[in-house]
Chains A and B, each alone.
Chain A
Amino acid sequence: MSDKHVDEISGVPTTGHEWDGIRELDNPMPRWWVWTFYTTIVWGLLYAVAYPAWPLLTGSTEGLLGYSSRSEVRKDLAEADNAKSGYMTAIKEKSIDDILADEDLRTVAVAAGGAAFKMNCVQCHGSGAEGSKGFPNLNDDDWLWGGSADQIQQTVAHGIRFTKDGETRDSIMPPFADVLDGDQISQVSTFVASLSAPVQNVSLVEPGRTVFAENCAACHGDNAKGNKEMGAPDLTDAIWLYGTGEDAIAAQVRAPRAGVMPAWDARLGETAVKELAAFVHSLGGGEK
């Protein structure tokens, strides 16, 4: 480095390196620049003291300001809770019909119910509430226990055939395997199937109607329209919980299956239940 090269034009020494004839002038730094540099060092030291910085065996130093990203999140969540507390209070205090009548409240309740649904309900009813065999589709307009908002709320709150809840919706269809003989079961199954779709064995329909009137109409109604008071399904529509067609119906006549839905009131609280009911009611099949 004793070979100090000095640029002829500017009279400034160069750094001593050369790249294809190009040399870099070794001008002194501006003074303010070095002050900026020192400032960043001071800033860094202050930062390391004020904020979590130095790693320890478990965790890190906490810093004098006590900052942590977790507490920031907690603060943000608290702020968000605070911001929506007006809605939450209103949802808590108002009846579900009043909530649905208010556009803002309805929007909030449906959104909150949607979130609760994804946590608690999708396991049986599916992520789109589309249901599956044995688990009702909540999007359609067919309701076993009623599709008005307060009926849905009642169902969500107390469940179905959930014996731990005294107010649960309860009914049971008896097995007819011992009551009816094989022919009668074929006849009544064909009759029920014929109510919503054409059937092959038309000759069985009329005898089936008689069997139905004698054994089934008590719950399902003379016109087979069902009875929501006791959760007896409408047998004239296109929606079948346990499968379409004579065979599926016959199986259900012989040894009926009946689903159980838990009660959510005790678990989620009344407000969340109301929100869930608002969400389910909003899916498209909700009744007045």
Chain B
Amino acid sequence: MQNQDVTRLDAVATNSAANRQPLYASRKKIFPKRASGSFRQFKWIVMAITLGIYYFVPWIRWDRGPFAPDQAVLIDLSSRRFYFFFIEIWPQEFIYVAGLLVMAGIGLFLLTSTVGRAWCGYACPQTVWVDLFLVIERYFEGDRNARMKLDAAPWSFTKLRIRVIKHATWLFVAVLTGGAWIFYFADAPTLARDFLTGNAVPTAYATVAILTATTYVFGGLMREQVCTYMCPWPRIQAAMLDETSLTVTYNDWRGEPRSRHAKRAAASGASVGDCVDCNACVAVCPMGIDIRDGQQLECITCALCIDACDDIMGRLGKELGLISYSTLNDYNANMDIATRSGTCDVTPELVRNPDGAFSDKLAHFHIGKLLRLRTFIYFGAWSAVGMSIAFALATRDRLELNVLHDRNPQFVRLSDGAIRNGYTIKLLNMVPQPRTVVLTLDEDFSGASMTVAGAEATNVLETEVTLEPDRLKTIRVFVRADPKRLPGGARAFEFVVTDPSTGERAEYTATFNSREKPQ
């Protein structure tokens, strides 16, 4: 029986096996080839400097005398002091650190608007440690092809041995990395000894364990995924780039049409660009992208593709810079020339003179292009903040005085009729030396005298106070005054503290309360 009325539906099963998309995808492994060239050289230098700073700074000694630690850089959380060479910061001076953060923020604007994602490509810890982990990987497994071969090979004793050694070395580096961190927070030699003998605080071991894990996982296992999936920086930095920021650019105005058989194609009269499609740029990329697809989110502008391409161009006797740091403006201008303002495909002949040299009309980058209003404003703001911090640091007080007036009772009437007010005075000796300072009562406050609680001398106009090094001292001071010589109500006066040996001086305007005088 056949039913002629059956309507055939134009339907495709959305989740048919053929159409089904995977919900989750494994990472596609990347085997970056070793690059060599000037940018690689530069990156080695940056790596040496940044790692050197990270690992060795806590071990620098800096003599501050017997009353302060001799570690040049120390964040002493338990006694709430931060030491940086000749600078010592108390918690209430954290504004200097806030200033540094503001500088880092504006510096990021400045850096990104000029040299693009240079932070990502050279200085970011993720980049530096991935680079370091790749060095280890290459040492044990060989370069790209050997690694790919090893990865594809079935498990064998040799493969297992190589892998175990590689991961063990990674873990070793990770432990050193996590280990170095804690030395910023305690005296490094002492902590190192305690740590190795099992006597350090549990927090130290926990911190090292966590940082070991993050270093190993981020640097060894996740690598480019940290940048692509986890880091907000690429999104932020991408938003701060403009047409005059330097980015790693494939100059397809001279590279296209790419050809693997350039000579044969040229002989047959076809137009050929400089790109020989050797994929050297793809092989070295630690992010696993093809820069010839244009600027993309994953690109950290490490410039290794520039090195790789320059190497090939050099060997072919062509001009370097097929892949180069270039601004979008220059690129667009040159593309306009190469495509007759977009009316035709890229034609290499258009950017070259008949003798084969590049046309004079081509735009080139020069340092002057970075000097723009935007970069001047960033630089101005950045240096203004920096100079403000420096000025504030140079002129800050190392002797401070805070006065807390008793509020309950406001004043006390004494048996001889005098009025007494109580004050809690905090004297901050912010240098790591003990000193004796002089606390003086305002000389304009006639008929008044003070008594420091616990002191032998009573009703004095000035008194010596001994301050411990790098400490705050709290004293109770009672000031008494003759009511006949008081205006009634509140009267302002000053406490003055001076250090006779240095001439430092701090004052605090306090209030003296007494009964309101009847009208």
Instruction: Please list the residues of chain A having a beta carbon within 8 angstroms of any beta carbon in chain B.
Output: 1-2, 4, 13, 26-34, 100, 103, 106, 126-130, 137, 139-142, 196, 234, 237-239, 282-285
Chain A residues whose C-beta falls within 8 Å of the C-beta of B14 in the assembled complex: 1-2, 4
Do residues B23 and A4 form an inter-chain contact, with CB atoms below 8 A? no
Additional A-B contact list (10), CB under 8 Å, known A234-B415, A239-B415: A2-B12, A2-B14, A4-B14, A28-B23, A30-B229, A34-B24, A139-B422, A140-B412, A238-B415, A283-B422
| A1 (CB) vs chain B CBs: closest residue | B14
Do residues A33 and B454 form an inter-chain contact, with CB atoms below 8 A? no
| B293 (CB) vs chain A CBs: closest residue | A9
| A131 (CB) vs chain B CBs: closest residue | B409
What CA separation (Å) do A28 and B14 show in the bound complex?
16
Q: Contacts A130-B408, A140-B413, A282-B453: A31 and B24 contacting too (C-beta < 8 A)?
A: yes
| B228 (CB) vs chain A CBs: closest residue | A30
Chain A residues whose C-beta falls within 8 Å of the C-beta of B413 in the assembled complex: 137, 140, 238-239
| A31 (CB) vs chain B CBs: closest residue | B26
Decide yes or no whether B201 CB sits under 8 A from chain A: no
Decide yes or no whether B22 CB sits under 8 A from chain A: yes
Do residues A29 and B416 form an inter-chain contact, with CB atoms below 8 A? no
Chain A residues whose C-beta falls within 8 Å of the C-beta of B19 in the assembled complex: 4
Partner of B21, one of A13, A34, A196, A285: A13
Partner of A141, one of B26, B406, B415: B415
| A137 (CB) vs chain B CBs: closest residue | B412
Secondary structure at chain B's binding surface: helix, strand, loop or mixed? loop
Decide yes or no whether B161 CB sits under 8 A from chain A: no
Do residues A31 and B409 form an inter-chain contact, with CB atoms below 8 A? no
Q: Which of B414, B417, B478 is the most central at the interface, judged by chain A CB atoms within 10 Å of its CB?
A: B414
Chain A residues whose C-beta falls within 8 Å of the C-beta of B23 in the assembled complex: 28-29, 34
What CA separation (Å) do A100 and B454 show in the bound complex?
8
Q: Contacts A2-B12, A284-B420: A103 and B454 contacting too (C-beta < 8 A)?
A: yes
Decide yes or no whether B366 CB sits under 8 A from chain A: no
Q: Contacts A31-B26, A282-B453, A284-B478: A139 and B222 contacting too (C-beta < 8 A)?
A: no
Do residues A238 and B417 form an inter-chain contact, with CB atoms below 8 A? yes
Chain A residues whose C-beta falls within 8 Å of the C-beta of B417 in the assembled complex: 196, 238
What CA separation (Å) do A26 and B19 show in the bound complex?
13
What CA separation (Å) do A1 and B12 show in the bound complex?
10
What CA separation (Å) do A33 and B14 show in the bound complex?
25
Chain B residues whose C-beta falls within 8 Å of the C-beta of A282 in the assembled complex: 453, 476
Q: Which of A106, A141, A237 is the most central at the interface, judged by chain B CB atoms within 10 Å of its CB?
A: A141
Nearest Cβ on chain A to B13's Cβ, whole angstroms: 9
Chain A residues whose C-beta falls within 8 Å of the C-beta of B21 in the assembled complex: 13, 26, 28
Partner of A238, one of B12, B225, B406, B414: B414
Do residues A127 and B408 form an inter-chain contact, with CB atoms below 8 A? yes
Those of B410-426 within 8 Å (CB) of chain A: 412-417, 420, 422
List of 6 A-B pairs having minimum Cβ-Cβ separation, nearest first: A128-B408, A237-B415, A130-B409, A28-B25, A238-B417, A139-B412
Chain A residues whose C-beta falls within 8 Å of the C-beta of B412 in the assembled complex: 130, 137, 139-140, 284-285
Do residues B222 and A237 form an inter-chain contact, with CB atoms below 8 A? no
Those of B1-52 within 8 Å (CB) of chain A: 11-12, 14, 19, 21-27
Nearest Cβ on chain B to A86's Cβ, whole angstroms: 20
Chain B residues whose C-beta falls within 8 Å of the C-beta of A196 in the assembled complex: 417
| A127 (CB) vs chain B CBs: closest residue | B408
What CA separation (Å) do A130 and B453 show in the bound complex?
18
What CA separation (Å) do A247 and B408 show in the bound complex?
29
What CA separation (Å) do A2 and B13 show in the bound complex?
7
Jot down 5 A-B pairs with beta carbons below 8 A, ordered by A: A29-B24, A30-B24, A103-B454, A238-B415, A284-B478
What CA separation (Å) do A238 and B454 show in the bound complex?
25
Do residues A106 and B11 form an inter-chain contact, with CB atoms below 8 A? no
| B10 (CB) vs chain A CBs: closest residue | A2
What CA separation (Å) do A265 and B408 show in the bound complex?
27
What CA separation (Å) do A2 and B16 show in the bound complex?
11
Chain B residues whose C-beta falls within 8 Å of the C-beta of A139 in the assembled complex: 409, 412, 420, 422
What CA separation (Å) do A139 and B407 show in the bound complex?
13
Chain B residues whose C-beta falls within 8 Å of the C-beta of A130 in the assembled complex: 408-409, 412
Do residues A238 and B24 form an inter-chain contact, with CB atoms below 8 A? no
| B406 (CB) vs chain A CBs: closest residue | A128
Chain A residues whose C-beta falls within 8 Å of the C-beta of B406 in the assembled complex: 128
What CA separation (Å) do A130 and B422 show in the bound complex?
13
Do residues B415 and A140 form an inter-chain contact, with CB atoms below 8 A? yes
| B415 (CB) vs chain A CBs: closest residue | A237
Those of B168-222 within 8 Å (CB) of chain A: 222
